[in-house]
Amino acid sequence: MKLKYLICNLKANKTYDEMLSYKEYLTKIPLNNIEFILAPSSIYLPLFKDTNINLCTQDIALCEKLNLTGDISIHQLKSLDVKYAIIGHFERRKYYKESEYEILEKIKDALENNIKVIYCIGETAEEKERKVEYQVLERQIARILNKLNPKELKNIIIAYEPSYLIGKETTYDILKIRSMIIFIKKLIQDYYGINIEVVFGGSVNNYNIDYLTNIKDLDGFIICSSVLYPENITQIIKKMTIK
């Protein structure tokens, strides 16, 4: 299967001047038919509005209709041509204690406003140790997707990110990762009748991506630390498009 997506989650990195230099390099990179999706801090979204880059927000407001202090509304995001939203990321679940109810509400708001969702799922190290990772993924999928209609489901990308791989130097179990991706796709096909796209994340970089591009049934990657250096992005795109 041809790799399609490269999602770059910059998290809370880069000063304004650093982002200006980053943008200058980034807009010159040949994308080679890759759906390149950039998720910078929200304050930098306007810098990329009129580029060939697909913009993504790292989060959306929970109480959309209240216009609360510190929130960023869907309408503000749409005015910047934001096309994607990352929702359910492990760090939001862990540090902000986001519940599945909150995640679902954010997903609904995004989809109702024609913003595609990158829905993050994945097991913890403790769940892996107890060998309940398949049950965990099934629960994370069912509790959200059961509440959505078929049209909405077609605008969701699943990001499989086991939390114990995020920010860690590790040796990947390629067969295990492929097994989990096949499980996710089959589960969603069997229950909802759609072929969903799945990307993988967890300390992916311009070196280990050589191994990861060999995973069949994978549609792309969500990458954080490595893509803070734009020259790495050039290498990553080349390796993705060689396959």
- Distance between CA 107 and CA 85 in Å, rounded? 8
Residue type, 188: I
User: Quick count: other Cβ atoms within 10 Å of Cβ 189?
Assistant: 12
- Which of 64, 89, 98, 105 is catalytic? The answer is 89
N residues, the chain = 243
Whether the CB-CB separation of 185 and 198 falls below 8 Å is answered with yes
Tokens of 129: 């140790």
Q: Which value, in Å, is the radius of gyration of the alpha carbons in the chain?
A: 17
Angle between helices 16-26 and 230-242 (to 10 degrees): 30
Whether the CB-CB separation of 82 and 110 falls below 8 Å is answered with no
- Which of 64, 127, 133, 161 is catalytic? The answer is 161
- Enumerate residues 6+ apart whose C-beta is below 8 A from 143: 100, 104
What 8-state DSSP symbol labels residue 159?
E
Active site residue 75: no
Active site residue 89: yes
- Where residue 35 falls (left for φ over 0; alpha for ψ -120 to 50; beta otherwise) is beta
What 8-state DSSP symbol labels residue 101?
H
- Enumerate residues 6+ apart whose C-beta is below 8 A from 116: 83, 84, 85, 110, 155, 156, 157
* Catalytic site positions: 89, 161
